[in-house]
Every structure is written in structure tokens, then in C-alpha cells.
């Protein structure tokens, strides 16, 4: 490649590189640096010590919070994958016209016309003790008294997570399924394969890149969330994001930075493991 073309390429990439360095790399570097600082009840002082990490890894509460975070992430992933793959499969193979595929896919975006906070809070009057769900069940005679676990519980947290994040699973899977050559399915059917066999041996292997992309979206969003857990659990449960938020509220920035670094490393390890399972560069 001529030197002039190389220089032109570097010049074109320079603005984006500077933006990423200023607004992504530099903040992360600062968080890592602050995570080694020390703090007292009244001050924060620059230092290079591992007290924040020692306290974090030595705290049983922190381990429980990380366990809760992984539990929320895994259950949300399983439910969003089940719902997202089903919806994407229906749109890709049972909706025949492109117009209806686009229309129904756009309908899936309707919840995104409002903010996450509004969609989250909208569940409270529905799941409350005197909410729509309990009132309906009582009027139908299904239950004798209101169900207390519908709201401010793990159920409400997971329900909201699934509601908010399912779309991030539908889109990449749908994009992958639409690229599958229908002649492969016809060939498998002509060879005597049943519907489940076609699904397991043809469609799922070809849909792996979309599934992995959706998995990365859902896991990273759930593991970094803290507002949903705070509102929908009634402050009765906590995840890592909530732990960081509490430390920031108490002005314990070094402790919050250390927890953020551990969470970031955990997410990066999970994403790196997923990227080794399938080459998703074909989908990007």
C-alpha cells in the first residue's frame, strides 16, 4: 500500500481514536488508578495499596452479591433466549412476506418508545398487592388473598429484566435466521429429517453467531444494571451495580472503583469465553 494511502487512513481514524481514548480508555484507566487509593471516613488519599481488593474478596456479603448478580444474569439469559429465539424463528420461517416480517419486527420495538425507567415502573401498579394482577386473580377466584411475591421480589426483578432485554436477543438471532439458505432446510426435509432434527442439526448451528451476540448484549446489560434491582426488589436485594452505587453514595470512591474493576474483568472474561465458542465476526 502506498505511504500516502497509509497516512490518509491514519488521519481518517485519528478523530475516532481520540474520542475513544478520551471517553473510554482514559476513564477506565482513572477507575483502575483510584481503585488502589485509600479512604477514611472523611477523606480520600492517593496511594498504591490493595486494601480495597482485600476487603472486597474477603467479604462474604460481596460474594453473595456477586452470586446474586450471576443468578439474575443466568436466569434472564435463559428466559430471553427462549422467548427471543421463538419470536425470531416465527418471524423468519413462518411469516412469508418481507413486509410482514418488517412490520412485526417493528412492533417488537414498541417498548423502546419509552425509557427503561417508565417501562420498569409500569410493572408496579400491575404487580402490587392491590394491583391489576392480584385484583384479577381474586375476582376470578383463583386465589383467596393477594400474592405478596409478585412485587418487590426476585420475581419482579427477573420479570422486568426479561421485559427490558428480550429485544436485544431477538434482533441478532432474527438477523442470523434470515440469512439461512432455505434450500438447506428443504434438503434436510427431503432427506427424511424431522422438524426437531432440522432445528437441532441445521438451524441452531447456523444461528449460533446471533445467539452469542444476543447473549453478550443481555449478560453485559444485566450484570451492569442497578436501577432495576433497586426499584423492583424494593431495596430488599442487591447486585454488583447496586453495591457500586451504594459506595458512590457514601463517597467511598476507591471501594466503588475496585468493585467496578472486578466487575469489568468478570464481564470481559465471560465475553472472551463466549467469543471463543463461535466466530461472530461474520455477523459484524
Identify the residue whose cell numbers are 471463543. 276
Residue 4 lies in a domain: no
CATH number, domain with residue 196: 1.10.3720.10
**Measured CA angle at 223 (ends 218, 229), to 5 deg:** 105
Residue 40 lies in a domain: no
The reported pLDDT for the residue numbered 283 is 55
Write the DSSP string, 113-134: GS-HHHHHHTHHHHHSTTSHHH
Number of folded domains that form the chain: 1
Taking the C-alpha atoms of residue 69 and residue 224, their distance in angstroms, rounded to an integer, is 9
pLDDT in tens, 120-167: 888 988 998 888 888 998 988 888 888 888 888 899 999 999 999 999
pLDDT in tens, 157-196: 999 999 999 999 999 999 999 888 888 888 888 888 888 8
Residue 177 lies in a domain: yes
Q: How many CA atoms lie within 13 A of 26 on its CB side?
A: 7
Identify the residue whose cell numbers are 448484549. 217
pLDDT in tens, 89-130: 999 888 888 888 888 888 888 877 888 888 888 898 899 888
Residue 243 lies in a domain: yes
Residue 104 lies in a domain: yes
Residue 138 lies in a domain: yes
Residue 31 lies in a domain: no
The reported pLDDT for the residue numbered 86 is 94
Q: What is the dihedral of CA 284, 5, 10, 283, to 10 degrees?
A: 0
Domain residues for 249?
A: 60-283
Q: Are 221 and 165 in contact (CB under 8 A)?
A: yes
Residue 178 lies in a domain: yes
Amino acid at each position: 500500500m502506498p505511504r500516502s494511502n497509509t497516512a490518509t487512513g491514519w488521519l481518517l481514524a485519528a478523530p475516532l481514536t481520540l474520542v475513544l481514548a478520551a471517553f473510554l480508555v482514559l476513564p477506565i484507566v482513572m477507575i483502575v488508578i483510584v481503585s488502589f487509593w485509600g479512604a477514611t471516613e472523611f477523606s480520600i488519599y492517593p496511594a498504591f495499596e490493595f486494601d480495597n481488593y482485600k476487603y472486597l474478596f474477603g467479604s462474604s456479603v460481596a460474594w453473595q452479591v456477586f452470586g446474586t448478580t450471576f443468578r439474575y444474569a443466568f436466569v434472564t439469559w435463559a428466559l430471553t433466549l427462549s422467548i427471543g429465539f421463538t419470536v425470531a424463528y416465527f418471524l423468519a420461517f413462518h411469516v412469508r412476506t418481507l413486509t410482514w416480517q418488517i412490520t412485526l419486527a417493528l412492533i417488537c420495538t414498541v417498548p423502546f418508545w419509552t425509557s427503561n425507567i417508565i417501562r420498569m415502573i409500569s410493572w408496579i401498579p400491575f404487580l402490587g398487592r392491590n394491583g391489576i394482577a392480584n385484583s384479577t386473580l381474586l375476582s376470578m377466584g383463583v386465589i383467596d388473598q393477594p400474592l405478596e411475591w409478585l412485587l418487590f421480589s426476585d420475581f419482579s426483578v427477573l420479570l422486568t429484566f426479561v421485559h427490558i432485554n428480550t429485544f436485544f436477543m431477538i434482533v441478532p438471532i432474527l438477523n442470523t435466521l434470515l440469512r439461512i439458505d432455505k434450500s438447506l432446510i428443504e434438503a434436510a426435509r427431503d432427506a427424511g429429517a424431522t422438524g426437531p432434527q432440522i432445528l437441532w442439526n441445521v438451524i441452531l448451528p447456523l444461528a449460533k453467531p446471533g445467539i452469542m451476540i444476543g447473549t453478550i448484549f443481555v449478560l453485559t446489560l444485566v450484570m451492569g444494571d442497578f436501577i432495576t434491582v433497586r426499584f423492583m426488589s424494593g431495596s430488599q436485594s442487591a447486585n454488583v451495580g447496586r453495591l457500586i452505587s451504594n459506595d458512590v453514595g457514601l463517597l467511598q470512591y476507591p471501594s466503588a472503583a475496585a468493585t467496578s474493576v472486578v466487575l469489568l474483568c468478570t464481564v470481559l472474561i465471560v465475553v472472551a469465553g463466549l467469543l471463543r465458542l463461535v466466530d461472530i465476526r461474520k455477523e459484524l
